[in-house]
Structure 1
Amino acid sequence: MSALAYDGTAMLGRQLRRVRNNPGLLILTQVMPISMLLFFGYVFGSALAVPGEEYRRFLVPGLLVATASGGIMTGMFQAAGDTHRGVMDRFRTLPMSRAAVPLGQALADVLVTAAGTVPFLLVGLAVGWRIEGGALAAAGAFGLLLLFRFACVWIGVFLGLLTRNEEAAGQLGGATFLLPLLSSAYIPTEGLPGWLRTVAEWNPISAVATALRDLFGNAPVPEGAAWPVSHPVAGSLLWCAVLLAVFVPLAVRTYAAGAK
């Protein structure tokens, strides 16, 4: 465990230096969700049943979670790029814990996400979003958000190690844009057709988005929804536990196995 902590910290430092040398990633994590907030909040908000400022209060937590789910794409691109350039092969020759490399990448991504969230929240406050629950509940919401991002990065790391090149990762990464669309990140699920509502409410993004809205005090938990959405905090924690239990071992084993 001490070896994993030491090696993981070293890999965390490496990933943070990559961000410092290539700040475009940090800028992108700030600009994209802000642009979507302004576009969806002022264009879609005028056409929905929850218009204007009320919709923007609903949208901010959803966009936070949609951005967190983007950890699948960033984790996939970085792992695939390092594999394609032979960086992973060089790491495997070093006497370090096999879990250290993916762990360092996942932790660095969470820190970058936390930093990129600050400007987004400031814009959210400017357009009418507020934390209407207690401070402890809000802290829990942010912790849950970062835990979900952490789980999503592990999914991406596994897929990136599996695809082994950036071109394949790019093609697969395009499909991840559909995940927030099939959830309650942008719109309530009550008006969706029965089968589509079921799919959306069992999407982990819906559970986490509903949990954030509940913890921030922005919107009540919908009635008659699927279990993960009716019990959003418990459902979110369960989804994160399942994703981590599945994809952490898969990513570590795939990294340790290397190219066959």
Structure 2
Amino acid sequence: MDTRPVACWLTDMDGVLVHEEQALPGAADFIAALQEHQRPYLVLTNNSIFTARDLRARLLGSGIDVPEASIWTSALATAQFLADQDAGGSAYVIGEAGMTSALHDVGFVLTDRDPDYVVLGETRTYSFEAITRAIRLIHRGARFIATNPDATGPSPEGPLPATGSVAALITQATGIKPYFVGKPNPLMMRSALNAIEAHSETTVMIGDRMDTDMVAGIEAGLRTVLVLTGSTRREEITRFPYRPTRVLDSIADVVPLVAELAPDEYSQLSAD
């Protein structure tokens, strides 16, 4: 039995709270319970297309009321990382408003003239011209950053090529691999913890993927809850050399863990 207190919660978005923009059962109740018990939390996503404001509106449309300040994207994590590495730097960006807005907000200059970095994020319309420019800039010495390694993304028609696939193309052309900031890099978790002044010892990560959410949480020192409403089936868990702290059917099963725990009480999480 793990008796460390649970003070904060991190949760993935797709496959945990929503599926194709439809709220999953218990998602709205989970967020409401966190707010009622005044628990610091963040909703995490590797998707860098949207700003936190955009995502708040999309979640609200699904019936889930998450404040803008409680959303943490791979674009925000990437911008924070770059600001820490090279304050006032410059970047050539392949991406959409989520990425460009985040970089502007930390004081980066966006340019295609000898930038310090090439930053690859998610976009609905990858341009061959933009990819070619990124390749040439990297050849000239720009450092290569990508928001996340996801090879594909979902759509109603089926999988779409995502950041990881385009990063592989650029790597093949340049011989340079990017530094991926988003999950499964535990840096994504660390930056989220810093954003809400939380500590790994008293924080739980909820996700639906063993290869991103769970491994990132474990490597960041968090306790982890895997829910089975997304990418991972129960029979697949044993294929991995690591285990989540607990496996639950859905986010609805997490609600009692939040609602029943007062700030001076202790976690009921224990390994399955």
Structure with the higher strand share, 1 or 2: 2
TM-score tier, shorter chain, comes to: under 0.3
Structure with the higher helix share, 1 or 2: 1
Which structure is higher in RCO with an 8 Å CA cutoff and minimum separation 6? 1
